[in-house]
């Protein structure tokens, strides 16, 4: 566990899980989730009490199944948020339905619903990061939510174009998906063993943010290897799965590593990117066109699985 202790000192660590046992064992300050993790967690035995509470709550709120499912999902998420925040000292990232990622108003509405329910537990909204997929509409929704004091984590970042738009929108945090970027290059035989394309993108984004003095934080996500962790310890945050965390003792860090602190200055900002420019650039990026929609579809499928599971409990 010495490597984990050292890593905690030099960056903000997040554990990518909803499993309470892992969260308690590693005692990392932050937690990230996604629909796949929530689907696993909702079936997990230690979540039984909070699931039963969500089912009972939904039955009392409505007689209609579709409404009950929505109430049950929100209640389960808030119960889980409360349980986890009582264990950790930092934040938890919770996603909204991926089917809304092309609708600004629905993204805002679903985020507000979740934050409003958090008030029932007196949960400080600054400790809850709303995860939204980084489409143009998702980014614009996050911009409005940030103005309301609701911090957002923009996920499925696969390009500098998305990262720039997020920074211009004043988004709190972005999550570049390092592993998925490398998956695309590997699948399409562009992969070079001497290059980690995901790591290179994160460093490119970091340099861009520093150059133009953007305050948006970067969370390295979809980490697959120990080398990626070592390469990205300068990130504002790293989110790591329990599987990778268990292997940390197999690496060593440079003990005199120095973090380069941001020196914010609003000089020399670029002009804001337009929707047209954003979409043209994204449509020309083969990684985005493949991996963004693949990721959206996977999150939607997991959301549907959650709904089907809850429907079976709510009849």
Residue 35, H or E segment? helix 35-42
Where do the H-state alpha helices sit in 93-172? Answer: 104-118, 136-147, 160-168
The answer to whether 251 and 29 are in contact (CB under 8 A) is no
Whether 140 is catalytic: no
d(CA 294, CA 249): 33
d(CA 69, CA 267): 48
The answer to whether 295 and 180 are in contact (CB under 8 A) is yes
* Placement of tokens 């390469």 in the chain: 231
The answer to whether 68 and 62 are in contact (CB under 8 A) is yes
User: What is the three-class DSSP state of 139?
Assistant: helix
* Placement of tokens 């992969």 in the chain: 191
Task: Compute how many other C-beta atoms are within 10 angstroms of the C-beta atom of residue 65.
Answer: 14
* Placement of tokens 């600054």 in the chain: 126
Number of alpha carbons in the 13 Å side-chain half-sphere of residue 206? 22
User: What is the three-class DSSP state of 155?
Assistant: strand
Task: Show the CA angle centred on residue 8, arms to residues 7 and 14, nearest 5°.
Answer: 105
* DSSP per position, 76-93: HHHHHHHHHHTT-SS-EE
Q: Which of 9, 131, 189, 279 is catalytic?
A: 131
23: Cβ contacts below 8 Å, ≥ 6 apart: 15, 17, 31, 84, 87, 88
Residues labelled catalytic? 131
């Amino acid at each position: 566990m010495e490597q984990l202790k050292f890593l905690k000192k030099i960056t903000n660590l997040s554990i990518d899980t909803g499993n309470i046992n892992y969260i308690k064992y590693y005692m990392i300050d932050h937690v990230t989730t996604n629909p796949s993790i929530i689907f696993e967690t909702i079936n997990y035995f230690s979540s039984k009490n909070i699931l039963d509470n969500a089912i009972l709550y939904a039955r009392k709120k409505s007689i209609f199944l579709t409404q009950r499912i929505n109430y049950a999902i929100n209640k389960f998420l808030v119960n889980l948020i409360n349980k986890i925040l009582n264990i950790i000292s930092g934040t938890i990232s919770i996603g909204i339905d991926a089917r809304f990622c092309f609708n600004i108003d629905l993204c805002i509405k679903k985020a507000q619903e979740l934050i409003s329910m958090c008030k029932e537990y007196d949960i400080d909204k600054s400790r809850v990061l709303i995860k939204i997929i980084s489409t143009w509409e998702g980014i614009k929704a996050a911009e409005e939510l940030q103005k309301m004091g609701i911090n957002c984590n923009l996920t499925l970042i696969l390009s500098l174009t998305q990262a720039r738009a997020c920074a211009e929108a004043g988004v709190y945090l972005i999550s570049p998906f390092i592993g998925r970027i490398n998956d695309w290059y590997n699948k399409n035989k562009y992969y070079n063993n001497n290059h980690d394309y995901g790591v290179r993108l994160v460093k490119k984004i970091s340099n861009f943010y520093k150059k133009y003095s953007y305050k948006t934080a970067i969370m390295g996500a979809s980490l697959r290897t120990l080398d990626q962790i070592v390469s990205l310890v300068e990130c504002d945050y790293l989110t790591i799965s329990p599987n990778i965390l268990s292997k940390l003792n197999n690496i060593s860090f440079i003990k005199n590593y120095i973090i380069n602190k941001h020196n914010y200055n609003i000089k020399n900002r670029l002009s804001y990117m337009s929707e047209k420019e954003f979409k043209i650039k994204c449509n020309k990026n083969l990684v985005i066109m493949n991996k963004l929609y693949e990721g959206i579809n996977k999150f939607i499928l997991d959301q549907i699985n959650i709904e089907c599971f809850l429907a079976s409990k709510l009849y």
